[in-house]
A = this chain, B = another copy of it.
Amino acid sequence: MSEEKRTDKTIVVFSADLDKVMAAFNIAIGAASMGFECSMYFTFWGLNVLRKENAEAPVKKKDFMSKMLGVMMPKGPKKLTLSQMNMGGMGTSMMKMRMKSKNIMQLPELIKMAHSMGVKFLACQMTMNMMGMEKDEFIDDLSYVGVAGYLGAVEKADCNLFI
């Protein structure tokens, strides 16, 4: 493979801050719409972006700490808050209203659009292990990978961001 062919983009989504995750998806969608392959690697807090809102946690299997983490961390994109000016949720709500009135796509729509445009979602297996999360708590069409899987995507990329 010649180096000239490297045009993919990768984004490590480490954060679960609404503003940072929206920036990640806006870049990914921009890249996809320009015809570039794009992989997003969701790790640590960022893995919460991929949680299903109404997933029944497989309660029996979970130990106490896993249950508690599952409750404390945001369950899907609608639960994310701003990294700044959250003000107990009020700032986040106001910014969402604002984006709606300005016809700016909200995060759940951004995720659907990225998926429909072929952006690849990689879920970090080590984080799942650490947080005690199971595959049936996540949205569909994920690849479950380790850091080697992420670095594999990097090998075809000319732009790699950590968000």
Contacts and interface: CB of A to CB of B under 8 A. Distances in A.
Interface of A: 2-4, 6, 9, 12, 14, 16, 19-20, 23, 26-27, 29-31, 33-34, 36, 43-45, 65, 72-73, 84-85, 94-95, 98-99, 102, 104, 126, 129-130, 146-148, 150-151, 154-155, 157-163
- Copies of this polypeptide in the complex: 3
A130 B99 contact: yes
Contacts of A2: 3-4
Nearest to A87: B72
Interface of A is mostly: helix
Given A23-B14, A26-B126, A98-B65, A34 B163 contact: no
A145 to B, nearest CB: 11
Nearest to A12: B161
A151 B4 contact: no
Contacts of A43: 23
Which of A126, A155, A159, A163: most chain B CB closer than 10 A?
A159
A148 B30 contact: yes
Contacts of A31: 151
Given A65-B94, A130-B102, A147 B45 contact: no
